[in-house]
Chain A
């Protein structure tokens, strides 16, 4: 099968019988639901740009498994150059959608499971790696989107999986059969899960023998019996349900998506199982996936940041404030912060290395530094954007008011005329365009897109403390002490 385009991808979702619930009800026509569709359009861009010669150099790669051209989101990185191109592709898609485009989790999971299964097989003589290679070939051949799912509900954070009062708070094996396993549990915060053809499940933490039933990795189609999803609502999401919603949405076409994915006694055939009770490899899988995903944020959030910086600059133009020196300086600061994130994404890629399986892994220290910065800089970027935009981004009347022909007051003017009169700013700038850019900033700073740009930057790919633990492990303080001793003349 050739690479799908955006329309083909959307049609492929209609063929699935994915169970989706929202506001306490099943959503049958979820592909066309106004709250869900923007996230589907985002993913469609990952397919569409692969066909555009201006972007295909980043969007496609040559498969090491088949020699065929595949979407880079289904690729196993074969060099540091591939790792760099991954980050560039993510920046590109952030620029084109100003949203989370959701397909990175699958790509990061492919690469982590590929290298980890190789090492499991080497120790235990299992056949997970060959199974997984066949699975990746299937994904590449059919150009599928896969939800790389790691995060369990976790229950009491002070207890291990096997110590929880409710044993399902970490996804687990409840039955082993001749032909496969049965699993129960859930994965939370699953980015793009509803829009995915498949789910690739991984454990969420390092484990001991007591937790071996929780050490499980497998792949399964989205619409198998017992698997269902509950849509995660976002700030201001019901604006998308308003009649003729446009300006007030800020980003009408694109958006992100997260959901609770529940596995209620789901059967997984053996050929789709890639880790089954080898608990000593759970930590490796987590660390590798997290490393790749922390690299990812040095690309995607930078692309979104590019759009925010552009929007802030436009807001300044529309407000007539573009010549003020403090405005110029704030745009410089935003650019500095954004490009610093990109530097980290590129650096951890350029310093990558080959795994035993042959695919390339990022530099863990630099990837964790990258993500640690991502937990901070986007917050400062949106603070500066709000500073430049002014309070109007959160106080102005609705699109309907600006369009209203209801006569009010004593001068015979409509609500629309009053609004357009009082919200006019720089000469030659339409009030509607000013509204549009301010609503975009509202949406990304504190509306539905803030889920992706703010809180996802903080907690996605691991919360800040998770990176600090990795930085502590990788920081090599003893070597630094030796350097200091040598310079200071300390002999001991």
Chain B
């Protein structure tokens, strides 16, 4: 599964968003590939990593086949890893 990653702009993040992505990447190893989202590329899913509950990143410009997953806290990491593993190749 190819997951495009979009960070919010990080004006005042309540946790380390970069470390969160690494944790998810490690936890979901083998189940998904994570790349920084770019316009013009199609992704199976989009992971939006927000620094706070507002999770204000712009995402309309990206092409995604499946769901857009949003997180805004470290406590979301395990749920996201579990969901990615559960989804397997089902978009």
| Residues of chain A within 8 A of B43, CB atoms compared | none
Question: How many angstroms between the C-alpha atoms of A53 and B17 in the bound complex?
Answer: 11
| Residues of chain A within 8 A of B9, CB atoms compared | 55-59, 85, 88-89, 92
| Residues of chain B within 8 A of A168, CB atoms compared | none
Question: How many angstroms between the C-alpha atoms of A92 and B36 in the bound complex?
Answer: 20
| Residues of chain B within 8 A of A84, CB atoms compared | 56
Chain B: CB-nearest residue to A84: B56
Chain B: CB-nearest residue to A95: B12
Question: Quick check: A54 and B10 within 8 Å, CB to CB?
Answer: yes
Q: Check if A306 is an interface residue, CB within 8 A of chain B.
A: yes
Name which of B5, B11, B17, B57 has the most chain A CB atoms within 10 A of its CB: B11
Question: Quick check: A57 and B36 within 8 Å, CB to CB?
Answer: no
Interface members, chain A 7-65 (any B CB < 8 Å):
53-59
Q: Check if A154 is an interface residue, CB within 8 A of chain B.
A: no
| Residues of chain A within 8 A of B17, CB atoms compared | 54
Please pick, from B5, B6, B10, the residue contacting A58 in the complex, using a CB distance under 8 A. B10
Q: Check if B7 is an interface residue, CB within 8 A of chain A.
A: yes
Question: Quick check: A57 and B18 within 8 Å, CB to CB?
Answer: no
| Residues of chain A within 8 A of B10, CB atoms compared | 54-55, 57-58, 92
Please pick, from A57, A88, A306, the residue contacting B7 in the complex, using a CB distance under 8 A. A57
Q: How many residues of A contact B (CB 8 A)?
A: 16
Q: 0/1 per residue, A64-97, Cβ < 8 Å to B?
A: 0000000000000000000011001101100100
| Residues of chain A within 8 A of B6, CB atoms compared | 53, 57
Question: How many angstroms between the C-alpha atoms of A35 and B42 in the bound complex?
Answer: 48
Give the interface SS of chain A, mostly helix, strand, loop or mixed: helix
Q: Check if B26 is an interface residue, CB within 8 A of chain A.
A: no
Question: How many angstroms between the C-alpha atoms of A55 and B12 in the bound complex?
Answer: 11
Q: How far is the CB of A407 from chain B (nearest CB, A)?
A: 46
Chain A: CB-nearest residue to B16: A54
Q: 0/1 per residue, B24-40, Cβ < 8 Å to A?
A: 00000000000010000
Question: How many angstroms between the C-alpha atoms of A84 and B12 in the bound complex?
Answer: 13
Q: How far is the CB of A342 from chain B (nearest CB, A)?
A: 8
| Residues of chain B within 8 A of A92, CB atoms compared | 9-12
Question: How many angstroms between the C-alpha atoms of A91 and B8 in the bound complex?
Answer: 14
| Residues of chain A within 8 A of B5, CB atoms compared | 53
Question: Quick check: A88 and B18 within 8 Å, CB to CB?
Answer: no
Q: How far is the CB of B88 from chain A (nearest CB, A)?
A: 27
Question: How many angstroms between the C-alpha atoms of A88 and B36 in the bound complex?
Answer: 21
Q: Check if B58 is an interface residue, CB within 8 A of chain A.
A: yes
Q: How far is the CB of A378 from chain B (nearest CB, A)?
A: 17
Q: 0/1 per residue, A346-380, Cβ < 8 Å to B?
A: 00000000000000000000000000000000000
| Residues of chain A within 8 A of B36, CB atoms compared | 53
What are 28 of the A-B contact pairs (CB < 8 Å)?
Answer: A53-B7, A53-B36, A54-B17, A55-B7, A55-B9, A55-B10, A56-B7, A56-B9, A57-B6, A57-B7, A57-B58, A58-B8, A58-B10, A58-B11, A84-B56, A85-B9, A85-B56, A88-B9, A88-B11, A88-B56, A89-B9, A89-B11, A91-B11, A92-B9, A92-B11, A92-B12, A95-B12, A306-B12
Interface residues of A (CB under 8 A from B): 53-59, 84-85, 88-89, 91-92, 95, 303, 306
Across the A-B interface, the 7 shortest Cβ-Cβ residue pairs: A58-B9, A88-B11, A57-B9, A53-B36, A91-B11, A54-B7, A92-B11
